[in-house]
């Protein structure tokens, strides 16, 4: 999936402009990078197009110790996205759902499932089920 395709899919799902979709995508991917392990974030980033991949990559910690994922639920995840600059709080929840659903389509099934496995089950509520595409429907 190309950068423009990803952003357009997020815009359509969240019912926002492409500029808002790009901002929501950046904020959601950066927050996801805080929530999952650095290795898993890197694995996802490797499969994303230029312009999206860097949002999942974090600089190595100065202490030399590996950075661990921070533990927080869906409500806190959405709040952290909403607290980022240029994010309209009213669309943060829809934006998170749109980005995570589009991410599922942009990366391999195994990588996406490995990432989702690091999140609380409540995250599956915001990932749109796949219809006729034959891919996994979360929660079933």
pLDDT tens, the chain, 140 aa long: 899 999 999 999 999 999 999 999 999 999 999 999 999 999 999 999 999 999 998 765 544 445 566 778 899 999 999 999 889 889 999 999 999 999 999 999 999 999 999 999 999 988 877 653 334 444 43
pLDDT of amino acid 64:
47
CB of 128 closer than 8 Å to CB of 103? no
Report how far apart, in Å, the C-alpha atoms of 58 and of each of 32, 97, 117 are. 11, 22, 20
91-127 b/e (C-beta count within 10 Å ≥ 16 → b)? bbbbbbbbbbbbbbebbeeebbebbbeebeeebbebb
What's the whole-model pTM score?
Answer: 0.85
Classify domain 3-58+69-126 by CATH number: 1.10.490.110
């Amino acid at each position: 999936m190309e950068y423009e395709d990803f952003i357009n899919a997020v815009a359509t799902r969240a019912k926002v402009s492409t500029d808002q979709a790009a901002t929501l995508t950046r904020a959601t991917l950066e927050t996801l990078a805080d929530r999952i392990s650095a290795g898993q974030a890197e694995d996802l980033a490797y499969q994303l197009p230029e312009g999206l991949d860097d949002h999942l990559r974090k600089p190595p910690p100065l202490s030399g110790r590996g950075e661990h994922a921070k533990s927080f639920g869906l409500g806190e995840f959405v709040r952290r996205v909403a607290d980022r600059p240029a994010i309209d709080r009213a669309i943060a929840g829809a934006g998170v759902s749109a980005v995570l659903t589009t991410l599922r389509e942009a990366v391999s099934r195994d990588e996406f499932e490995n990432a989702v496995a690091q999140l609380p089950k409540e995250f599956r509520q915001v990932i749109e089920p796949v219809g006729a595409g034959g891919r996994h429907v979360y929660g079933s």
